[in-house]
Amino acid sequence: MADQDISPRIALKADRRRPLVAIIGGGLSGAAVAYHLALTWRDVQPAIIVFEPRPEIGRGLAYDTRDAAHRINVPAARMSLLPEHPEDFLQWIIDNDAVADDPEAKRENGSVFPRRQLFGQYVAAALQPLVETGAVRHRQAVVTDVSRDGAFWRLSDSQGGQTFADYLVIATSHPAPSTPRNLAALASHPRFVADSTVAGSLDVIRPDDNLLVVGNGLTAADVVASLASSGHRGRITSISRRGLRARGHAPATQEPFGNFDAPPIRSTAWLLRQVRQAVVDAAAVSLTWHAVIDQVRGQGHAIWRNLPVPERRRLVRHLRPFWDVHRFRIAPQVEEVLDQAIEKGRMEVLAASITHARIHGDKIHVTLRPRRGVPVERVYDAAVVTTGPAHGGILDSQPWLANLRNHGHLQLDPTGLGLFCNDRSEAIGGDGTTDPTLLISGPLARGTFGELMGLPQITEHAVFVAHELAKKVRSAAVTG
Ligand SMILES: Cc1cc2nc3c(=O)[nH]c(=O)nc-3n(C[C@H](O)[C@H](O)[C@H](O)COP(=O)(O)OP(=O)(O)OC[C@H]3O[C@@H](n4cnc5c(N)ncnc54)[C@H](O)[C@@H]3O)c2cc1C
């Protein structure tokens, strides 16, 4: 049960013998830090409070969805809260007979791709006993302001509370997507959906609407799958600059293949050559590209660390779209829905950008500039933006983040992927100094850690952050 104290001013001064760790964000990242700090590092016994407005800790943006068409995009056997037990989620599914009502979850090759909400249920169930015993406090509130108050971090929240913490972990990950500038004129259209991750946002789309989907990744796939399950039968045009579609999984499970961390690869071009060669070598032993990309993912931290910052920027600028469609794989059930829609000619995937958009009557008129060819004018009944969270704008996405930036505690990382931190996940402020009491957990730390968008990397990083916090608390206890 969440912390029910909603008195207008609660002041939680840290007990000097029990330092307080405040975690902002109770999605997978914040939940995993709290879980591992509370259970694995019992000897240090810090007080832990997680700020999360959702009723449960552990779901966050990805796993809070109630839409049955939304599936995990990594097989259940690789999604675990416990990195040392990769099959923990799969075992939980078996123990709880959790896909009994979902015959599509199990695939012919034995892999399991359940509904996404089930993973949220698994993480929330792991956290619940800790919340009930008070080992982890769930403050069901939005943090509205954070500032320094002597040795403490002072947090104000939407329930009128004030909390004074010794250590602060930022685990808020995904800001809302920002509407591309060229689509701003559509904002007032009743069937323009700027953020499809908001529950019920697709309800405005009518069954026969001719739909434009801006973006072509996993969020777009979610949208098409959701609409198919709710009976949408209109035409769909899905566009992205390169027209690349998220790829599916390998037909059979494979071990990762290749080696990319030694000798250290120092340039993007070199990395690309190595990956291409590994794909050729993998094919020679009957493995697919999936095995190579899995190895790149697994060694992502080392690869990233070996690249100088200008090369990291080059990689983000030139290779990211290709990386995204190979690394973020689509669940097989969702892939089938998309394949069918394309085969039946109901859906087209275009390499194009929008140069102009306007509302005319109840229609949406857009000028599409194809990657090759001449611009064309198209008319749609509805449009959905699926370009994903605007991580580059993270510091302006919430007032307290802007405030921390304005007071020199935070800055954007040099690749623009998230918040700048060192290799201990400590935030690096505007003047380049690190703050050992301010840590970043999850995807917002990927500018430093490289691949950090999905499991198992997110949980591995959370274990690392919990470990770092435990060391700090322990050494403070010794010196204090
Ligand atoms: C739609 C989607 C589907 C995905 N599916 C998969 C998958 O199947 N497999 C996989 O491996 N990875 C997947 N990922 C990637 C990864 O697992 C997710 O990104 C995961 O959500 C990361 O969790 P998080 O806690 O870091 O971030 P989030 O889920 O964004 O959680 C952040 C939390 O912070 C809270 N918060 C924000 N601001 C405040 C504030 N001011 N005060 C208090 N709380 C605040 C939010 O309410 C939110 O719950 C998916 C990602 C997305 C976006």
Q: Please determine, for residue 97, whether its predicted confidence score (pLDDT) is greater than 70.
A: yes
Q: Give me the amino acid identity at 151.
A: A
What residue's CA is closest to ligand 1, atom 49?
A: 60
pLDDT at 479: 66
Of ligand 1's listed atoms, the one at least distance from the Cα of 51 is 43
Q: Please determine, for residue 151, whether its predicted confidence score (pLDDT) is greater than 80.
A: yes
Give the model's confidence band at 245: pLDDT under 50 very low, under 70 low, under 90 confident, else very high: confident
pLDDT at 205: 98
Q: Is 79 in the pocket of ligand 1 (CB under 6 A)?
A: yes
What residue's CA is closest to ligand 1, atom 22?
A: 28
Q: Which two tokens stand for residue 434?
A: 């690190």
The mean per-residue pLDDT over the stretch 411-426 comes to 95
Give the model's confidence band at 6: pLDDT under 50 very low, under 70 low, under 90 confident, else very high: very low
CA of 118 to the centre of ligand 1 (A): 15
Q: Is 74 in the pocket of ligand 1 (CB under 6 A)?
A: yes
CA of 61 to the centre of ligand 1 (A): 4
Q: What does the alpha-carbon distance between residue 154 and residue 134 come to, in Å, rounded to a whole number?
A: 21
Residue with the bigger pLDDT between 312 and 451: it is 312
Q: By three-state DSSP, how is residue 20 classified?
A: strand
CA of 120 to the centre of ligand 1 (A): 10
Q: What does the alpha-carbon distance between residue 296 and residue 320 come to, in Å, rounded to a whole number?
A: 13
Q: Is 450 in the pocket of ligand 1 (CB under 6 A)?
A: no
Q: Is 62 in the pocket of ligand 1 (CB under 6 A)?
A: yes
Of ligand 1's listed atoms, the one at least distance from the Cα of 222 is 1
DSSP tag of 105: G
What residue's CA is closest to ligand 1, atom 37?
A: 172
CA of 329 to the centre of ligand 1 (A): 17
Q: Which of 446, 422, 448, 427 is nearest to 437 (CA)?
A: 427
CA of 454 to the centre of ligand 1 (A): 10
Q: Please determine, for residue 57, whether its predicted confidence score (pLDDT) is greater than 60.
A: yes
CA of 330 to the centre of ligand 1 (A): 17
Percentage of residues in the chain with pLDDT exceeding 90?
A: 79
Q: What does the alpha-carbon distance between residue 71 and residue 331 come to, in Å, rounded to a whole number?
A: 6
Q: Is 161 in the pocket of ligand 1 (CB under 6 A)?
A: no
E strands of 272-428, at which residues?
Answer: 347-360, 363-370, 376-380, 382-385, 426-428
Q: Is 334 in the pocket of ligand 1 (CB under 6 A)?
A: no
pLDDT at 246: 83
Per the prediction, the chain carries an average pLDDT of: 92
Q: What does the alpha-carbon distance between residue 79 and residue 85 come to, in Å, rounded to a whole number?
A: 10
Q: Which two tokens stand for residue 400?
A: 């307290």
Of ligand 1's listed atoms, the one at least distance from the Cα of 197 is 1
pLDDT at 392: 78
Dihedral angle, C-alpha 366, 205, 230, 222, nearest 10 °: 50
Task: Specify whether the CB–CB gap between 25 and 60 falls below 8 A.
Answer: yes
Percentage of residues in the chain with pLDDT exceeding 70?
A: 96
What residue's CA is closest to ligand 1, atom 8?
A: 72
Is the C-alpha dihedral spanning 330, 333, 337, 342 positive or negative? positive
Q: Is 24 in the pocket of ligand 1 (CB under 6 A)?
A: yes
Q: Please determine, for residue 184, whether its predicted confidence score (pLDDT) is greater than 90.
A: yes
Q: Please determine, for residue 7, whether its predicted confidence score (pLDDT) is greater than 70.
A: no
Q: Please determine, for residue 59, whether its predicted confidence score (pLDDT) is greater than 60.
A: yes
Q: Is 226 in the pocket of ligand 1 (CB under 6 A)?
A: no
Q: Average the pLDDT over each of 107-116, 275-284, 314-323 and give the range with the smallest value.
A: 314-323
The structure tokens 């060229």 sit at: 182
CA of 174 to the centre of ligand 1 (A): 6
pLDDT at 4: 45
Give the model's confidence band at 17: pLDDT under 50 very low, under 70 low, under 90 confident, else very high: low
What residue's CA is closest to ligand 1, atom 53?
A: 62
pTM of the model: 0.92
Cβ neighbours of 144 (radius 10 Å): 16
Residue 41 sits at the vertex; the CA angle it makes with 143 and 139, to the nearest 5 degrees, is 20
Q: Please determine, for residue 10, whether its predicted confidence score (pLDDT) is greater than 60.
A: no
Q: Is 25 in the pocket of ligand 1 (CB under 6 A)?
A: yes
Q: Is 174 in the pocket of ligand 1 (CB under 6 A)?
A: yes
Q: Is 216 in the pocket of ligand 1 (CB under 6 A)?
A: no
Of ligand 1's listed atoms, the one at least distance from the Cα of 32 is 25
Q: Is 28 in the pocket of ligand 1 (CB under 6 A)?
A: yes
